[in-house]
Structure 1
Amino acid sequence: MMAKGEIRKDLSDRTPSSSARSLRIVSWNVRTLYEAGKCVQATREMQRYRLDMLGVSETHWIQSVQKKLRSGELVLFSGKEEGIQEEGVAIILSKRAQRTLRGWEAHGSRLLLASFSSSNRGININTLQLYAPTNAASDEEKEEFYDQLQRITEKLPRKDVNIIMGDANAKVGSDNISYEEVMGKQGLGVMNDNGERFADFCSLNDLVIGGTIFPHKDISPDGGTENQIDHICISRKFRRSLQDVRVFRGADIGSDHHLVIATFQLKLKRYSRNPTTKRLKFQVNLLQGNKITDFGITLKNRFQPLEHLDEDMETYWSQVKDSFISTCKEVLGEKDYKHKDWISQE
């Protein structure tokens, strides 16, 4: 099975004048990518739909490595170390997406994490590709999967854009009672056991299930209800940026699942690593006349004990810096910022 996502020039374009980025995330499901010609078909569909990232589930590949294709795409895949060729997840990157790749981590045959740079150096885009056990799997297998998924997710920085997508094998349905913050009423079918587990996971980690939010016309051939088990979830703090989630039925790679594309406008604010740290400012305008003499004498007295110190460079520099700061505080004093109204009562 397969799920795929697209990260377009919003990642590679780092021009400061462009603050809003267009981001498209794609989910798909295809079986047994190791079959002859399937990988070529997948890359052709990537080029056809101008996709930069394709996440794949149930690749049936073993081991966890990366390899470069002749067409230029980079494949990252994670599977079982040995034994039967089953399960497995992968991410295929275009040349443009490869330039924004920060790193990736293999987490067994069901989870693969890739991190990408954004236009803001303080915020990254983390994409977690998953292939969940089916609804018929044992409770032990499901619990083991969701425990591992939770351990990985809770390590992702909340400031980043965190995207979890793929074949969740979960029907969440249209009844969102108790899940109003993480899903809408546009889901298909009725929630099953996997759907409840998946919704609980999203609620715990502040994720929105994108496919349940936007209404679209039902164009299924027989007019019946189709299964909705491939999902794209985005951090809830970026919910307002989500523009649409739509199914595309034109892609063909021998699958009974359709292409799901989510589009949203991403505007990132500059992230401060130490927002509570206050920068010290001193009244340097007082350095004239007798103040200059007092400042020089006080600083010289503080430097004298340092002349014969036998310390490493870092320790010596720290003491020099402290000498300057303490002298400024004693002689000049800190500068107080006084707010001035831009317009007066008069």
Structure 2
Amino acid sequence: MTQEGESQEEILEQTRPLVHPKSTTKIGNWNVRTLYQNGNVAQVAREMTRRDTDIMGISETHCTGQRKIQIAEGETIIYSGRDDNIHREGVAILMSKKASSALIDWTPVNERIILARFFSKHIKLTVVHIYAPTEDAEDQVKDEFYARLQEVLERRNRHDMLIITGDMNAKVGSDKELYKRIMGRHGLGVRNDNGERLCEMCDLKELVITGTLSPQNIGSDHLLVCTTVKLRLRKQYKEKRCERVKYDIEKLKDADTVRRFNIAVRNRFQVLDDEEFDREEDEVERKCRVIQKTYTETAEEILGRPRKKKKSWISGASWKLADERGEINKKKLCTHSERVKGQLKVQYKVKDREVKRSLKADKKKWIDNIASDSEEAERSPHMETLYSLTKTLCNERPRSSTALLDKNGNLISSKAEVLSRWTEHFQEILNREEPQDPITENDEVELDDIYEEISVDMPSTEEVQRAIKKLRNGKSPGIDSITAELIKANTNFPITNIHELMEAIWREEQIPESWKKGLIIKLPKRET
């Protein structure tokens, strides 16, 4: 059974929990003024890790478009910005590894609103991060923003726990006579127009302004503010699907590794062939499964999987300067002397310039090193290495947004709706209507010349050998995860055993079930 408001797909596709039962989740909110500078994302991620924050809403990112990116530090960021390539406004949600694994779906609404939904045990969590117009903005801009926010809140799942973070650009004041349900007694200032709009919206949606529940030491919205929320998140059991495994085939360049791999392949094949021989199953299926398991299990044991090498281009000296800048900022916020505060402001500006110069030098050194490695790879030539370095140098990140548009142009982001839309799309693209005048056996068509060029005899070992030799290295494997390098590492074993498989296919006139499955890779196109 499912709880109210919870679909069967969500139960079957539960993801890794963000927190354990009876523990807390830490959520932050920060107006960073811009992420569109070298090193800013890394600095924000470092501060998030230092404060042990799981989810952080970020305002004024100044990034354009919509994208989901896993940064080098391991955190995941989703952001939504303007579509006209103007670097203003922009909102984002930065997630720790634990939080990103609990992410169900996310919706980039516009440059001021972004929504993310997370799994929990008893009630799911919806986080809406916003960047409201300033008090001086035109009434039309404010009306459009709050109308769009109301629409987003209406469309969310009503059974979720809702948390709205962001830069509200509002003063709600200390007078709570009309809004006792939504305010505490620690509001600041005098309520302005934005504050009135915020209170009306919270009153309508039965939300509480948590910033008024406890005394505030500062009134700035450009500092990181954190809170803790108790959640009971449920573990997700990942859907059963065929996942390809990438093996460390670079080790096959070593002669000793190749020798050990070949010995292990022959030994494992004999063991598996004896184990599978007595099973009541078609010969084709049995031979195919034995060959696949022989290669995959041996590759897992001998080669293993490649380790990802992620090295930040920011040097330790730059991080040290950034820490010193943070310490100066802390002293500036804590001091009550205007004279000392003025001196600290000057020190902060000087240290901030040092940080920016250091980051700029680090970036230049990093680019120069990649350019030198690219030139060396071109002279070698190692085209695969050259392509990888060029892609890194161009900083072209893959577009990984999972949101789609339905036939009516409406944005859809939930997994069930996205899968249904892809199914509908490929059914229309790949399926064709029957021809009106199909060719039959009785039609007189001159095909003798074509038939003469096609061999209809049983496949020979020479044909298998030629086919294996033509396999190109560096190509992506199929669903069985067997690459050309694994097959070509041993010359005699694959020729003999694959030839026997081909003979069985020829005799029984059927192919293995796994050969009937394929992978469809979607490649998003750039908008022109």
Give the TM-score band, short-chain normalised: 0.5 to 0.7
1:196 corresponds to which residue?
A: 196
CA deviations on 1:111-148 (whole Å, 9 max, x unpaired) are 0000000123xx21000000000000000000000000
Q: Please, what TM-score do these two structures have when normalized by structure 2?
A: 0.40
Cα contact 1:170–1:194 (8 A) shared by 2? yes
Within-5 A mapping of 1:96-107: 96-107=98-109
Cα contact 1:12–1:119 (8 A) shared by 2? no
Question: Residue 75 and residue 266 in structure 1: after superposition, are their counterparts in 2 closer, same or farther (change >3 A)?
Answer: closer
Which structure has greater helix proportion? Answer: 2
Is 1:63 the counterpart of 2:65 in the alignment? yes
Q: Which amino acid aligns with 1:135?
A: E
Cα contact 2:132–2:168 (8 A) shared by 1? yes
2:110 corresponds to which residue?
A: 108
Structure 1 stretches of 4+ moved >6 Å: none
1:258 corresponds to which residue?
A: 223
- Shift in Å, 1:161: 0.6
Match for 2:18 among 1, 4, 12?
Answer: 12
CA deviations on 1:306-344 (whole Å, 9 max, x unpaired) are xxxxxxxxxxxxxxxxxxxxxxxxxxxxxxxxxxxxxxx
Cα contact 2:169–2:194 (8 A) shared by 1? yes
- Shift in Å, 1:99: 0.8
- Shift in Å, 1:13: 4.2
Separation in 2 of the partners of 1:56 and 1:166?
7
- Shift in Å, 1:34: 0.8
Separation in 1 of the partners of 2:91 and 2:215?
30
Separation in 1 of the partners of 2:81 and 2:113?
9
1:42 counterpart SS class: helix
Q: Which amino acid aligns with 2:144?
A: E
Separation in 1 of the partners of 2:18 and 2:34?
31
Structure showing greater radius of gyration is 2
Separation in 2 of the partners of 1:75 and 1:24?
16
Alpha carbon RMSD of aligned pairs, Å?
2.0
Q: Which amino acid aligns with 1:136?
A: D
CA deviations on 1:283-306 (whole Å, 9 max, x unpaired) are xxxxxxxxxxxxxxxxxxxxxxxx
1:138 corresponds to which residue?
A: 138
Question: Residue 37 and residue 86 in structure 1: after superposition, are their counterparts in 2 closer, same or farther (change >3 A)?
Answer: same
Separation in 2 of the partners of 1:171 and 1:56?
20
Number of residue pairs the alignment of both structures matches: 219
- Shift in Å, 1:170: 0.7
Cα contact 1:13–1:119 (8 A) shared by 2? no
Cα contact 1:25–1:261 (8 A) shared by 2? yes
1:12 counterpart SS class: coil
Greater relative contact order, per chain length (Cα 8 Å cut-off, separation 6+): 1
Question: Residue 26 and residue 192 in structure 1: after superposition, are their counterparts in 2 closer, same or farther (change >3 A)?
Answer: same
Separation in 2 of the partners of 1:179 and 1:118?
30
1:206 corresponds to which residue?
A: 206
Question: Residue 203 and residue 140 in structure 1: after superposition, are their counterparts in 2 closer, same or farther (change >3 A)?
Answer: same
Report percent identity of matched pairs: 44
Q: Which amino acid aligns with 2:18?
A: S
Cα contact 1:210–1:262 (8 A) shared by 2? no
Q: Which amino acid aligns with 2:50?
A: R
- Shift in Å, 1:267: 6.3
Separation in 2 of the partners of 1:40 and 1:261?
19
CA deviations on 1:148-201 (whole Å, 9 max, x unpaired) are 000001222332110001001011111111100011110111111000000100
Q: Please, what TM-score do these two structures have when normalized by structure 1?
A: 0.60
Q: Which amino acid aligns with 1:80?
A: R
- Shift in Å, 1:78: 0.5
Cα contact 1:11–1:100 (8 A) shared by 2? yes
2:198 counterpart SS class: helix
Match for 2:121 among 119, 131, 155?
Answer: 119
Q: Which amino acid aligns with 1:89?
A: V
Which structure has greater strand proportion? Answer: 1
Separation in 2 of the partners of 1:193 and 1:77?
28
**Structure 1 gap ranges (5+):** 1-9, 221-225, 231-256, 269-346
CA deviations on 1:216-237 (whole Å, 9 max, x unpaired) are 6x5x6xxxxx35xx5xxxxxxx
Q: Which amino acid aligns with 2:149?
A: L
- Shift in Å, 1:209: 0.4
**Structure 2 gap ranges (5+):** 1-15, 234-528
Is 1:149 the counterpart of 2:149 in the alignment? yes
Question: Residue 138 and residue 24 in structure 1: after superposition, are their counterparts in 2 closer, same or farther (change >3 A)?
Answer: same
- Shift in Å, 1:215: 3.4
